[in-house]
Structure 1
């Protein structure tokens, strides 16, 4: 198994099971993951929210299909925000995408099976360059997986956000004409998807930072003030768990940069 870089928390107060259940709907407003009834699965999620991403993945994998969403989320978030070795990062993302693909066959109606495949392939694409990923056919796979996620779960705010980012990145990298004709990317669709994500999950550092980035890709300098205001909101948030802290830290870094 690939060795992971350890995540060092910044003095976060660990959540316990009772606190996690109380915060669950707030923490999972983005991915619409239901509260698990299995205590072992609850524990795997508790590890995730406390930043023990590798252990969360291990415990999730030990539970079979029932634990794949937490295992995939832990692996993908670790790869994107913690892992600094590019080769390891890419390996972890591809492992996540492959597991999610298998889960689609076992549980085709599970939104997480489609979303975490798209998320992992999307972040992998950013690492190898979006333009290169498009030539490898990854763009079509990502778009299809995100559209399937939304069809399975219209309240999945993060899927709307990720699909909006797909449209934004394709247009940003290859232009609106080629992006539209070849990959179905559309500026108006991207902006509408961002607005839907904001309506579904407006008080999320994830939504705010991704929307800010998307506005700059789709609209540029004319929306700079709005994008900066979104990052300001994200940076001012008090994180409730390890993942939120990673996003808030990212927003603060973007403002300082």
Structure 2
């Protein structure tokens, strides 16, 4: 495995298994991942929450299918927020999607298998341009995977959020008419999905930042004040772990821009 860029998360209180278990429901309210009973899997998640993304991936891969959700989450978050080499970023996201698709075949009822495929392909699409990704058929795969995630796990806030973002991205990049006719994108559906995500996980920097971005794509400048208010809330949060710190930082950068 190529050496990844080290991520240093200053000021965060380190996680151990005891602290992770105490905060698990708060940290995983978005992805509805169940608390793992295997100590080795718990350790892999400790590594993830401490920002040791490459070590979390190595620990997860050692557990085969049981470790693929932590493997894929660690890879996808690292690729999207830490990796600055575009070719490496794209490779990591495609690897994540392929592993998730493999897990779907082994565990078709595992919501994480569908969600992390969609997340990875969605971030990959943003990197190569959404319009280009749509012509490659990625939009259908993303939408199907997210709808499957929600069907398997209706409380999966992040899946509602990602599906809302899908509607917003498609409309923003190809227009409401073509987006609706060709890809099933709909402004009202997108807004409703964002509201569902907010209802399920309102105190999340992830929810707030993605909703802010989506509002502007779906509604334009008339919702800029609302979007800024959401980013303000996200930027003011005290993150609990490395991933939250990355999202809070992204909100602060967006406000500065």
User: What TM-score, normalized by structure 2, do the two folds share?
Assistant: 0.99
3-state SS in 2 of match to 1:100:
helix
Q: Secondary structure at the match of 2:30?
A: coil
Q: Where does residue 246 of structure 1 map in the other structure?
A: 246
Whole-angstrom distance in 2 between the partners of 1:6 and 1:44? 17
Structure 1 residues 109-142: Cα deviation after superposition (integer angstroms, max 9, x where no partner): 0000000000000000000000000000000000
- Asked if 1:126 corresponds to 2:129, the answer is no
Deviation, 1:4, is: 1.6
SS at match of 1:171: helix
> Paired residue for 1:210?
210
- In structure 1, what is the equivalent of residue 31 of structure 2? 31
2:222 equivalent in structure 1 = 222
Q: Deviations over 1:136-178 (max 9, x none)?
A: 0000000000000000000000000000000000000000000
Distance 2:4 2:129 in 1: 23
Tell me the residue number matched to 1:144: 144
When the two structures are aligned, how many residues end up with a matched partner? Answer: 257
What CA RMSD, in Å, does the superposition of the two structures yield over aligned residues? Answer: 0.6
Partner of 1:7: 7
Aligned to 2:112: 112
In 2, are the aligned partners of 1:2 and 1:88 still within 8 Å (CA)?
no
Tell me what 1:45 maps to.
Answer: 45
- Deviation of 1:8 (Å): 2.0
| TM-score normalised to structure 1 length | 0.99
- CA–CA distance in structure 1, aligned partners of residues 45 and 31 of structure 2: 13
| Structure 2 unaligned spans of 5+ | none
Pairwise CA distance, 1:97? 0.2
Match of 1:69 in 2: 69
* 1:2 shift after superposition: 3.3
Q: Secondary structure of 2:117's partner?
A: helix
Distance in structure 2 (CA, Å) of the matches to 1:94 and 1:63: 20
Counterpart Cα distance in 1 of 2:231 and 2:151: 29
> 1:3 offset after TM fit, Å?
3.1
Distance 1:180 1:77 in 2: 30
Provide the rounded CA distance (Å) in 2 between the counterparts of 1:2 and 1:111: 29
- Alpha-carbon distance in 1 for matches of 2:136, 2:93: 16
